[in-house]
Structure 1
Amino acid sequence: MTERGDTMTGLDALMIDAQRKVLDALHQLEETRRKILFVIDEEQRLAGSLTDGDVRRWILGGGNLDSVVGDVCNRVPLSVDPHATLDVIRQLMSTHKIHSVPVLDVQGKIVDILFQENVCQDATIEPHRAPLAMPVVVMAGGKGTRLAPFTSVLPKPLIPVGEKTAIEVILDSFVEHGVDDFYLSVNYKSKLIQAYFEELDPPYRLSYVHEDQPLGTGGGLHALIGRFDGDLIVTNCDVIIKADYHALVEHHRDEGNDITMVVSLRHYDIPYGICDIVDNGQLCSMREKPHYNFLVNTGLYVLHASVLELIPENRFYHLTDLIDDVKAQGGRVGVYPISDKAWLDTGEWQQYCETMAQLRS
């Protein structure tokens, strides 16, 4: 059967034990890029399936990341036996709108995984995704003081990340999804940024929004009022997000959000006993070496163009201020979770070094 699907050596990457944690599953989903894992029990038999959407819904519903995969997965996954014909498999995928199906032996163990692109050789196969036809705005006007002394010479967007500049890595991640319309909001050393891209001559459209004075992470967006219909993506110039932007935009639209903030899961272990006290200084309780999970703002957003009308002119204004204003008017602000490994931050020296180490690994 392996000639119809992935080789046996690749199956382990798509399987996960039912007792593994949800956070582990999210990391594995991002590494495989298949958007699905097949859950196995102690006997190595198929016990369920788990998609990135399942994990995201679990998180957004307040589910604990320390919960086990078996509590979150779909317990009635579709499968076929080794004797299933290609016509049967194609019909199964078409009817249930699935892109992969495991092949089970008589014991219920996975012997192969078939994918749509391998078994569908006719017009029923889904075409590649349409380009993500929406503008991306990069807020690139800050001084980057936390990266001094490099930023005393170079603007933060031109700090090298591997063999490219930080901003090239960011723009290229969107180009991979079909984006070719970019706007850079610039202020500090803006001429260096423009000169760099003039020399680079990239194959996408690049426009500049000039801030005469620093306007925060959102103030420069006022100049774009009236330029767009529909949605746009806004990102800081020091964050590299490894995410499916198509899925992000689809989530934003399905939820009817005015703003969707991409958030990263952050896990923190406290290596000490934490004491809770009452007003008179008496010990109430103690937690030994607790650990916490938080959803942290990454600095990447999807906005509906209509919310730009709320941004004041020539005033220092952060995107978090825009979120507050949208919520105050009854608008919808949602979040889109990604794992900690999908967020690479280059805004501070320690984070920059960690990002470089991760890119080299």
Structure 2
Amino acid sequence: MLKADELFIPETATVLDTMKRLDETGQRILFLAPEGRLKAVVTDGDIRKCMLRGGSLEDPVSKAANYHPKSLPIAERGRARRELERWGIDALPILDKNGVITDIIFADGVNVDNRKRVDIPVVMMAGGLGTRLYPYTKILPKPLIPVGEQPIAEMILGRFRDFGCRHMTMIVNYKRGMIKSYFSDLEKDYTVDFIDEDTFMGTGGGLCLLKGRMNSPFFFTNCDTLLDIDFGDLYQYHKDQGNLVTMVCAFKHFTVPYGVVELGSDGGIASMREKPELNFLTNTGVYVVEPRVVEEMPNGEFIGFPDVIDRYRAAGEKVGVYPINESSWMDMGQMEELEKMRRRLEEQS
């Protein structure tokens, strides 16, 4: 079990340091508490807002922190659960008479669910060959490859269902009979429609098959990406920003395991860096999309959805990014990543 001080972070820490600590603790909140006295809190949502305001990963965490946090004195600890629910927060620090944090009460999902509900369609691109997962996909289509006790596609749709989505559509091609059979027989409280893609059209081209079917914004997802995020908050952000498409992107931190040498124009060494660190945003393959995109898709065009986005960006349309922590994203597009996903889900169960 975590101790309270393991969730403390100094004001001088950078946004990047804070993101790493959030990943390490597995919690969504940290406390700025010099000498144990509560001064501010910072959540993954605070960091996301900071980045969307133009903040940098190298900024001090103080630029993202909330300096008016909720708390309770020790004498009122008994009403912590009630206040967690009333305020709609994940954690509540308990303070002594000097303002020092003595305990932290977490919602942990027990009788508290502060997530926004949203009932919009979900479209899953589920027709690819899954060549990176060969030889598994020689037997099963990628959407039916199990991660633990469930196929990945069922797990993904289940997470959307948990946020209120009830109408799913799967664009299918490779081994589609198996996919249709599985979901038709599955006992579930949501509907699944199938759209046959007879010719491979890429991760974006298949959207043309939905013309006349989409009359609202929809979630659009690959069949190999599992996100641990508030989809209701994602949809609200999409609406508030007035985006045509909102792309969910994860912060990635990568350390090159070698010393990197750059050559100069004379063949000599221009610079050397020992195990440099890279920080960047990467596309998770999950989006919120306005129905106009479907209606404007050329029929039969082979195109990836990132290329569709680039086309709209070039035309001056508004495309936004919803950033999330790396720990909120699991991808099974490759064999190595599939095994990582299995291990992480086992740890969470």
Question: In the alignment, residue 39 of structure 2 is paired with which amino acid?
Answer: A
Q: Does 1:16 align with 2:8?
A: yes
Instruction: Decide whether the 8 Å contact of 2:214 with 2:294 is kept in 1.
Output: no
Question: In the alignment, residue 40 of structure 1 is paired with which amino acid?
Answer: A
Pairing partner for 2:294 from 296, 308, 312 = 308
Q: Does 1:56 align with 2:48?
A: yes
Q: Does 1:166 align with 2:152?
A: yes
Instruction: Decide whether the 8 Å contact of 2:124 with 2:168 is kept in 1.
Output: yes
Q: Tell me how far apart the structure 1 counterparts of residues 5 and 36 of structure 2 sit (CA, whole Å).
A: 14
Question: In the alignment, residue 31 of structure 2 is paired with which amino acid?
Answer: F
Question: In the alignment, residue 173 of structure 2 is paired with which amino acid?
Answer: N
RMSD over equivalenced CA pairs, Å: 3.2
Give per-residue Cα distances to partners, 1:224-271, cap 9 Å, x unaligned: 123223310000011111111111111212221111111112111123
Pairing partner for 2:325 from 321, 334, 339 = 339
Pairing partner for 1:46 from 38, 46, 62 = 38
- Residue 177 of structure 2 aligns to a residue whose secondary structure is helix
Pairing partner for 1:296 from 279, 282, 293 = 282
Q: Tell me how far apart the structure 2 counterparts of residues 100 and 128 of structure 1 sit (CA, whole Å).
A: 12
Partner residue in 2 for 1:202? 188
Pairing partner for 2:69 from 59, 62, 77 = 77
TM-score by length of 1: 0.83
Q: Does 1:186 align with 2:179?
A: no
Give per-residue Cα distances to partners, 1:335-354, cap 9 Å, x unaligned: 11222222111111111111
Pairing partner for 2:96 from 105, 122, 147 = 105
Pairing partner for 2:23 from 16, 27, 35 = 27
> How many residues are matched?
341
- Alpha-carbon deviation of 1:114? 6.3
User: Does the C-alpha gap of structure 1 residues 320 and 44 become closer, same or farther in structure 2, counting only changes over 3 Å?
Assistant: same
User: Does the C-alpha gap of structure 1 residues 202 and 100 become closer, same or farther in structure 2, counting only changes over 3 Å?
Assistant: closer
Give per-residue Cα distances to partners, 1:130-184, cap 9 Å, x unaligned: 6421000000000111111121121111111111111111111111111110000
- Alpha-carbon deviation of 1:93? 9.7
Higher mean displacement: 246-255 or 77-86: 77-86
User: Does the C-alpha gap of structure 1 residues 85 and 177 become closer, same or farther in structure 2, counting only changes over 3 Å?
Assistant: closer
- Alpha-carbon deviation of 1:325? 1.8
Q: Does 1:326 align with 2:312?
A: yes
Higher mean displacement: 132-141 or 68-77: 68-77
Pairing partner for 2:128 from 142, 154, 157 = 142
Instruction: Decide whether the 8 Å contact of 1:147 with 1:349 is kept in 2.
Output: yes
Pairing partner for 1:279 from 255, 265, 284 = 265
- Alpha-carbon deviation of 1:329? 2.2
Q: Does 1:235 align with 2:228?
A: no
Higher mean displacement: 326-335 or 64-73: 64-73
Pairing partner for 2:236 from 238, 245, 250 = 250
User: Does the C-alpha gap of structure 1 residues 58 and 25 become closer, same or farther in structure 2, counting only changes over 3 Å?
Assistant: farther
Instruction: Decide whether the 8 Å contact of 2:123 with 2:220 is kept in 1.
Output: yes
User: Does the C-alpha gap of structure 1 residues 163 and 79 become closer, same or farther in structure 2, counting only changes over 3 Å?
Assistant: closer
Partner residue in 1 for 2:30? 37
Unaligned runs of 5+ in 2: none
User: Does the C-alpha gap of structure 1 residues 11 and 347 become closer, same or farther in structure 2, counting only changes over 3 Å?
Assistant: same
Q: Tell me how far apart the structure 1 counterparts of residues 231 and 177 of structure 2 sit (CA, whole Å).
A: 30
Q: Does 1:348 align with 2:334?
A: yes
User: Does the C-alpha gap of structure 1 residues 296 and 130 become closer, same or farther in structure 2, counting only changes over 3 Å?
Assistant: closer
Identity over the aligned pairs, expressed in percent?
A: 39
Higher mean displacement: 262-271 or 53-62: 53-62
Q: Tell me how far apart the structure 1 counterparts of residues 98 and 68 of structure 2 sit (CA, whole Å).
A: 16
User: Does the C-alpha gap of structure 1 residues 272 and 61 become closer, same or farther in structure 2, counting only changes over 3 Å?
Assistant: farther
- Alpha-carbon deviation of 1:282? 3.7
Q: Tell me how far apart the structure 2 counterparts of residues 78 and 127 of structure 1 sit (CA, whole Å).
A: 18
- Residue 178 of structure 2 aligns to a residue whose secondary structure is helix
Partner residue in 2 for 1:3? none
User: Does the C-alpha gap of structure 1 residues 128 and 68 become closer, same or farther in structure 2, counting only changes over 3 Å?
Assistant: closer
Higher mean displacement: 231-240 or 305-314: 305-314
- Alpha-carbon deviation of 1:58? 2.9
Instruction: Decide whether the 8 Å contact of 2:9 with 2:18 is kept in 1.
Output: no
User: Does the C-alpha gap of structure 1 residues 359 and 66 become closer, same or farther in structure 2, counting only changes over 3 Å?
Assistant: farther
